[in-house]
């Protein structure tokens, strides 16, 4: 359903719809969720780090980490950093490829 207002058009979303991370990295109980945000300065990524634990029969998460969590936390952070930079490299490559095209290089339908 489209909702039109003054000079903008937006899609209305159900109240229970949640934005999902674009990537999740997990090692053991440590998880990094990578979020994508479009800003006026371009695409930006943020990372949230959590530790999973079980409380009775229910799984929960925490942003508090113990001494023994730190090595996995560092590895998950490194993998998140690598993933974000790989995405930026892919975007730059696709932009470069588009910028290198010459007039007449378009695909011609047969």
Please indicate, yes or no, if residue 87 is contained in any of the structural domains.
yes
Q: Are 34 and 21 in contact (CB under 8 A)?
A: yes
- Say if pTM beats, i.e. exceeds, 0.75: no
52: its two tokens: 């999973």
How does residue 96 score in pLDDT terms, banded at 50, 70 and 90? confident
The 10s digit of each residue's pLDDT in 52-79 is: 999 999 999 999 999 999 999 999 999 9
User: Tokens 């979020």 label which residue?
Assistant: 35
State the Cα angle at 32 between 30 and 33, rounded to 5°: 140
Please indicate, yes or no, if residue 39 is contained in any of the structural domains.
yes
Domain count for the chain: 1
Instruction: Provide mean pLDDT across the span 37-60.
Output: 95
83: its two tokens: 């993933």
DSSP state of 87: H
Please indicate, yes or no, if residue 12 is contained in any of the structural domains.
no
| Pairwise CA distance, residues 106 & 59, whole Å | 52
pLDDT at position 107 is 54
Please indicate, yes or no, if residue 3 is contained in any of the structural domains.
no
Please indicate, yes or no, if residue 61 is contained in any of the structural domains.
yes
* 3-class SS of residue 38: strand
Please indicate, yes or no, if residue 9 is contained in any of the structural domains.
no
Please indicate, yes or no, if residue 38 is contained in any of the structural domains.
yes
Q: Find the domain containing 70 and state its range.
A: 19-97
């Amino acid at each position: 359903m489209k909702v039109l207002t003054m000079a903008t058009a937006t899609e209305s979303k159900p109240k229970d719809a949640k934005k999902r991370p674009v990537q999740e990295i997990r090692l053991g109980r440590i998880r990094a969720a990578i979020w994508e945000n479009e800003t006026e300065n371009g695409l930006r990524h943020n990372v949230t780090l959590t530790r999973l634990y079980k409380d009775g029969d229910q799984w929960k998460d925490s942003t508090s980490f113990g001494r023994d969590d730190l090595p996995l936390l560092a590895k998950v952070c490194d993998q998140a950093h690598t993933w974000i930079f790989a995405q930026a490299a892919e975007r730059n490559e696709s932009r470069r490829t588009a910028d290198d095209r010459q007039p007449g290089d378009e695909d011609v339908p047969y």
